Structure 1
Amino acid sequence: MPRLSIVVPVRGVRGSLRECLESVLAQSFADVEIIGVADGSPDGSGQLLDEIAARDPRVRAVHLAEPAGSDGRRTAGAERATGDYLLFLEGSHVLLPGALQLIADRLETAKDPDVLLFGHVRRPFRGLPLPSRSLRLLTEMGDTDLCTLADRPELLGVAAVCWNRAVRRDFHESGQVPFAPGPYGDRMYALGTLATAETVAALPVPCVEHRRRRYVPGLDDPAERVAPHDVVEQFCDLFDALRGTPRFAGVHAPLFQLASHHLLETYAEVSRRRRAYVRAVAAFHRQYRPRGYRPPGGLASLRLRLLAGGRTAALRGLDAALTVRRGLRAAASGARSRLARRVLPVLYRLHRLRPLDPRLAVYSAYWNRGMSCNPAAIYHKAAELAPDVHGVWVVSKKAAASLPPGVDHVVPGSRRYWAVMARATYFISNVNFPNHVVKRRGQIHVMTHHGTPLKVMGVGQYQYPAAAQGLNFPDLLHRVDRWDVSLSANPHSTEAWTSAYPSAVRHLETGYPRNDVLVNATPEQVAAVRASLGIGPEQRAVLYAPTFRDHERGYTCRLDLARIARELGEDTVLMIRAHYFHDGSGLGAYSGIMDVSGHPSTEELCLAADALVTDYSSVMFDYANLDRPIVVHAPDWEIYRAVRGVCFDLLSGAPGDTPGAVTRSTDELIRVFTDGTWNSAANAGLRAAFRARFCALDDGRAAERVVRHVLLGERELLPVTPPEERGAVALPRQAAAEQSEAPAGTAV
């Protein structure tokens, strides 16, 4: 029987659940069981719970048949617990390092109290952790004395939540106050256990990091919706349950005062049936007010008398104040709108008065740099499957000259640009559209992204100043709120996007459309690409594609490329592709080195390469689809991880994390290519695990899934072909051999 049972309700926490559970599993104190309770969350949280439970026997996944609300999930978890003590942890919170050992030690020194209260820190949605008022109160109380709530009524100042306390399981099972429904349904449970406990101990150190989540309208669980009037009923139920308990008399007055204060605050949330709310609160006062109770003096007394049923003059004053506040907000909003109307072109406003064109789609990629990546793959598939939907690309003047013949396009700021942006029904891009784009009702925005994330993205960059420089987070979230669909190349990406871009967007795990060409490529196509680049049939082509560094201004090559080319010999060609943020690699002419930074298609370069060398670029996830060797050259991994932040440890060497050989210097890179390590059986095994984790959805039909679901309105996504049923990918020199062996005029 474990010492501690930790219950984690699982719903709508796809982006944070892994970190939450890992914060428990990484604790030095291991005598625990984790009971995750899911009830069909549409974001896939339950599947993630199953994945983690399959890897660690301390995690037990419980799936409820019907949505149960947070109260039902907590209750179901507690019913299945076997530990001495119950702890409840939200799926968006984390345990701080060493917390469980501190809790276990304090329980032992306190001789197993009914309830142990411990501290927490608050992390705002964007910001750094801050001490909580509860932690200050516990610090003042100290950790030496056992008490009851009657002895220390100031304990009511500790946040009334279930995740800042350990409750002895047999005491929990004999309790009179269950969890209540609603987002604050654990309040009544927390107050009830504290009021009835014979022994309460304190641990005045932070054990939990309470992470505030962004409020997104429409994302709340229907089972969590509780009207303010229901809160009055919950307090009535609490007092009814406590009335017959031995210690109720000693806590009646402070508990009543807390309830009165809370009901007063809740009045601000009442938008309708205000008189009924006031009458309900007045009835609560009459029924549960302690004998001889006198409310605090001054303004607080006035407010309490108001809620107890006094005349409505003060109520009218409060209504007037609320009306003034709403008016000020509306005026400020109106001022912003007037400013926007002056700034935005009049033509755009006029076009927005016209109906949407259901057969018009707008595409863009990499901040209007041209036609590429996932949007290009979707555009081509739409031309095949949905020819009635006309696609228009938004490109810069410079990029317009390089578009293929016949591709319709507009340049930002042109007359037609405003008309297209106003009337298009579909917006498909791998980056955000500008802030001036106004999303109209009926328009559908598809965010395709442009890589599987290794580095921290979105709001997570707030913790990394170098990565966050120049990023306006409110503007970012405004743009994110326009998304309707977010594409994921794999489940890892879904987790990352959910955390990085909190919104009401639907995440579609389709695979990456841009990878279709890699999976579907024929030997003939591979040979043609290599020939177009001037790579000989027997030459080994190595693509070196590093990413950019947020803390550096330009491109810095971390390899002695000329030396590598000399050492590897004439039968090896090095293709160097600098990140698109840089104009080029800046390399001069070297024998055996080809600067392909300006090549229009990364996918073609991947098809041509026998091996990939990269550092932290997302190209490694795409290239893994080809099942060709990958070498990670990471001379500054520690700096990059500290400055930019990463989602997982690329260099851990664990299957699924590391795709192949790892080098840290030019000498090491030369060695792995001269002694055969680059293509060893051990690295092939690592690559297979990496592919299984990140490429399982890339079956060559990702673009078709998007077109059918978004443009053609098919509700169900096309099923993914299992990896074991897919054909083998084409290998470069195998392709060249087959090409040379084919009789003249024969198609390969």
Structure 2
Amino acid sequence: MSEQVPISIVLPVYGVEEYLPQCLDSLLGQSFADVEVVAVDDCSPDGCGAILDEYAARDARLRVVHLEQNVGLGQARNEGLARARGEYIWFVDSDDWLADGALAAVAERLERSRPDVLVVDFALAYPDGGTERDVRAHLFRDAPESFTLAERPGVLDLIMTAWSRVVRREFLAGLDVGFGRGYYEDISVTYPVLMAARRLSLLDRVCYYYRRGREGAITNTASPKHFDLFGQYEQIFDFVDREEETAGQFRTAVFDRTVRHATTVLATPGLVPADRRREFFRRASEHFRRFRPQGYSCPSGLRGLQYRLVERDAFPAYAALEPVNRLRLALRPAVRRARRAPRSATRLAATAARRAYYRACLLLPVDENLAVYAAYWYRGYACNPAAIYEKARELAPGVRGVWVVGKDRAGSMPPGVDHVVAGSARHLRTMARAKYLVNNVNFPYELSKRPGSVLVQTQHGTPLKKMGTDLRDYPVAAGGLNFERLVEQCGRWDFLVSPNPHTTEVFTRVYPGRYEVLPTGYPRADRLVNATADEVRRVREGLGIAPGQTAVLYAPTHRDYRDEAELPLDPERLAAELGPDHVLLVRAHYFDARGDVQLRDVKDVSAHPSIEELCLAADVLVTDYSSVMFDYAALDRPIVIYAPDWEVYRRTRGVYFDLLQQPPGSVATTPERLAEVLRGGEYAGAAAAKQREEFRARFCPYDDGHAAERVVRRIFLGEKPGPA
């Protein structure tokens, strides 16, 4: 057909076999069908050409151009543009995709406003499947249906990619501009179309999904081709000179973007090769002096200082400032939020200062005999890190251990344990210099691990419930978890401590990384295995448990599907049914513990600093889906599973095995049945003992009381002992 269509999509294709079908499906499967797709196979070395031909055979709206040699992204776009028949052109990248309904929304706005350029909003698409709308989305809100760049110059702050603009074809042809060669090829078009347009329009809707983190993308690739940036901006300034009457008024704004773009590329790790950074900076300096507008004044603050160093070609001073600049780039979204909420400005400034100080401390030498310990997001001295710390003091006394705790927990630290308050200058300096980092959760993402340090991830439980990347399928439990960042955090681990083969199988899959697994058992379980009768007696006396009383420890887990903290059991009712010869200890999950709840005839031990001591004190454990059951099993004492909401929990959280079919002891699903099991002694019978034996064989094979020693010998002494 030869008649004009409303929209032509120009699609350059090269090396995207994995992503191309999703892109084509998103283009050809839209409800708005009056569109043509001109796909340019840029001599792609994979199966892209065949995929295009297959789709074209099924849909006449797709026309395929096969180039005999590779010409690059910019020239491929030019080739497609020359063949397009649409009134409007939309340049789409073949590893991205359009949102459902995007074409209909775009066509409706084009028909109504008839702009020269329509700018559409987009969302970032991350490798883990998550998406996030662009941080500049606020610029789309409340915009008039049509305007000029002079009326809304802030549009120049929007992303300068070809795929974010839908351009009237005749208007573009009259500008005498084209896509450049090499990297950043689209800015030689995207800037001119904004400056020359008589009618601009913004569509406040996510129309496009921009794939981030793809291997081979220029935003991920170290290459000398990043020098192409300067040639592309030269073309833009040529256009400004040629169209002085319409574009000259934007010279200063474009110049500012030029310098900002160059310094951002230089500040982004892994783009400009290390041996070419000085040369790149010199090119930026030459570019600055060549194109600086008359009367231009550098901005204030850190950016202004940066610009002056570029102008003077002062690379050593710039390099010293670069960690702070990288921090500024990382904080840019927070800065925008602070501008909209001024009361957070002080807090933001303090955060920026702490991060800048940490970056500076990373320049200090590594202390080979310094280890940092933390547990449960700085909640205090606990869990596997505490057990490793104690054993390290015995076997590796030359390694000094320092704990990181929250300000409100500093008073709870044991005597003689050196500690720093999270967020303090000493904390940041200690983190930056430590050779060893030991935690049962991840350290904050912003405190990046320096080369040469050793990060030991102990975790804090055997997984019954779904964990890590498996939570992608359980959004209630994931709670907005950034999976891309999680995977990046796992890449920092050097060692992962595992309590049993089941945990090794699950964690190595859901926490992907190149770390070494230590099949040692959990160090925190050593105390349970090694406890003496005298120690058990002292712990029980300390908790006020009378001789002869049966101590029942009730320790439920957190429910992600509930908005409010609420125990699944009425402990006062259970205590009354058990009678005075029993004592009920209630240990709420730390996410659910509330200090304002008063319980009668029940010992609330939620604030007790040691779950291990509570386990030692208990004659029987009552729990639901908490990992405490796996530790308690090392004691070979009775366990009762109270699971009134098992089906809801497994559906919303996901589980790795059916606990009710493979329990460590008796099972109850109602409070009446639970009281019956406890009063009648069923929990201590032969059937329950057999279930516990099978459970222990599966989940406690390493629990011989020497787990911490094995970890210390491997990490601090460099030995490679065999598994437990």
- Could you say which residue in structure 2 is the equivalent of 1:660? 665
- Could you say which residue in structure 2 is the equivalent of 1:425? 435
1:595 pairs with one of 594, 601, 604? 604
- What is the Cα deviation at residue 507 of structure 1? 1.6
1:475 pairs with one of 485, 497, 517? 485
SS of the residue aligned with 2:529?
Answer: helix
Corresponding position: 1:372 with 2:362: no
- What is the Cα deviation at residue 133 of structure 1? 9.1
Equivalent residues of 2:375, 2:381 under 8 A apart = yes
- Could you say which residue in structure 1 is the equivalent of 2:654? 645
Equivalent residues of 2:552, 2:585 under 8 A apart = yes
How do 1:90-239 residues align onto structure 2 when only pairs under 5 Å count? none
Q: Which moved more, 1:378-387 or 1:398-407?
A: 398-407
- Could you say which residue in structure 2 is the equivalent of 1:717? 721
How do 1:25-424 residues align onto structure 2 when only pairs under 5 Å count? 261-262=44-45, 299-303=65-69, 317=181, 323=225, 330=265, 333=268, 338-340=328-330, 344-424=354-434
Q: Cα gap change, 1:590/1:700 in structure 2, threshold over 3 Å: closer, same or farther?
A: same
Q: Distance in 2 between matches of 1:560 and 1:388?
A: 50
Equivalent residues of 1:365, 1:430 under 8 A apart = yes
Q: Distance in 1 between matches of 2:510 and 2:676?
A: 39
1:619 pairs with one of 611, 619, 628? 628
Q: Cα gap change, 1:705/1:396 in structure 2, threshold over 3 Å: closer, same or farther?
A: same
Equivalent residues of 1:562, 1:590 under 8 A apart = yes
Equivalent residues of 1:360, 1:426 under 8 A apart = yes
RMSD: 3.5
- Could you say which residue in structure 2 is the equivalent of 1:488? 498
Q: Distance in 1 between matches of 2:723 and 2:565?
A: 42
Q: Distance in 1 between matches of 2:682 and 2:24?
A: 57
- Could you say which residue in structure 2 is the equivalent of 1:520? 530
- What is the Cα deviation at residue 406 of structure 1? 1.4
SS of the residue aligned with 2:667?
Answer: strand
Q: Distance in 2 between matches of 1:450 and 1:369?
A: 13
Equivalent residues of 1:585, 1:595 under 8 A apart = no
- Could you say which residue in structure 1 is the equivalent of 2:255? none
Query: 1:292-336: CA deviations, max 9, x gaps?
Result: xxxx99851432899xxxxxxxxx956896735996894582675
Equivalent residues of 2:354, 2:423 under 8 A apart = no
Q: Which has the higher contact order (CA 8 A, sep 6+)?
A: 1
- What is the Cα deviation at residue 567 of structure 1? 2.0
Equivalent residues of 2:519, 2:723 under 8 A apart = no
- What is the Cα deviation at residue 537 of structure 1? 1.9
- Could you say which residue in structure 1 is the equivalent of 2:202? none
Equivalent residues of 2:43, 2:67 under 8 A apart = no
Q: Cα gap change, 1:407/1:303 in structure 2, threshold over 3 Å: closer, same or farther?
A: same
SS of the residue aligned with 1:262?
Answer: coil
1:565 pairs with one of 575, 584, 603? 575
TM-score (norm 2): 0.55
Q: Distance in 2 between matches of 1:304 and 1:406?
A: 68
- Could you say which residue in structure 1 is the equivalent of 2:456? 446
- Structure 1 letter corresponding to 2:694: A
Query: 1:100-152: CA deviations, max 9, x gaps?
Result: xxxxxxxxxxxxxxxxxxxxxx999xxxxx99999xxxxxxxxxxxxxxxxxx
SS of the residue aligned with 1:455?
Answer: coil
- Could you say which residue in structure 1 is the equivalent of 2:703? 698
Q: Cα gap change, 1:696/1:586 in structure 2, threshold over 3 Å: closer, same or farther?
A: farther
How do 1:515-554 residues align onto structure 2 when only pairs under 5 Å count? 515-554=525-564
- Structure 1 letter corresponding to 2:673: E
Q: Distance in 2 between matches of 1:374 and 1:584?
A: 25
Q: Distance in 2 between matches of 1:435 and 1:305?
A: 40
- Structure 2 letter corresponding to 1:606: C
SS of the residue aligned with 1:404?
Answer: coil
- Structure 2 letter corresponding to 1:300: H
- Structure 2 letter corresponding to 1:333: T
- What is the Cα deviation at residue 352 of structure 1? 1.4
- Structure 2 letter corresponding to 1:688: E
Gaps of 5+ in 2: 1-16, 26-40, 50-61, 73-179, 186-217, 219-224, 230-260, 270-324, 332-351
Q: Distance in 2 between matches of 1:649 and 1:624?
A: 17
- What is the Cα deviation at residue 647 of structure 1? 1.2
SS of the residue aligned with 2:540?
Answer: helix
Q: Cα gap change, 1:410/1:382 in structure 2, threshold over 3 Å: closer, same or farther?
A: same
Equivalent residues of 1:546, 1:615 under 8 A apart = yes
Equivalent residues of 2:354, 2:425 under 8 A apart = no
How do 1:677-692 residues align onto structure 2 when only pairs under 5 Å count? 677-692=682-697
- What is the Cα deviation at residue 396 of structure 1? 1.0
Equivalent residues of 1:576, 1:585 under 8 A apart = no
TM-score (norm 1): 0.54
Q: Distance in 1 between matches of 2:679 and 2:64?
A: 85
SS of the residue aligned with 1:302?
Answer: coil
SS of the residue aligned with 1:511?
Answer: coil
Equivalent residues of 2:536, 2:616 under 8 A apart = yes
Q: Distance in 2 between matches of 1:561 and 1:123?
A: 55
Q: How many residues align?
A: 434
Identity %: 51
Q: Distance in 1 between matches of 2:530 and 2:228?
A: 57
SS of the residue aligned with 1:697?
Answer: coil
Q: Cα gap change, 1:325/1:595 in structure 2, threshold over 3 Å: closer, same or farther?
A: farther
Q: Distance in 2 between matches of 1:539 and 1:664?
A: 25
Gaps of 5+ in 1: 1-121, 125-129, 135-257, 267-295, 307-315, 721-748
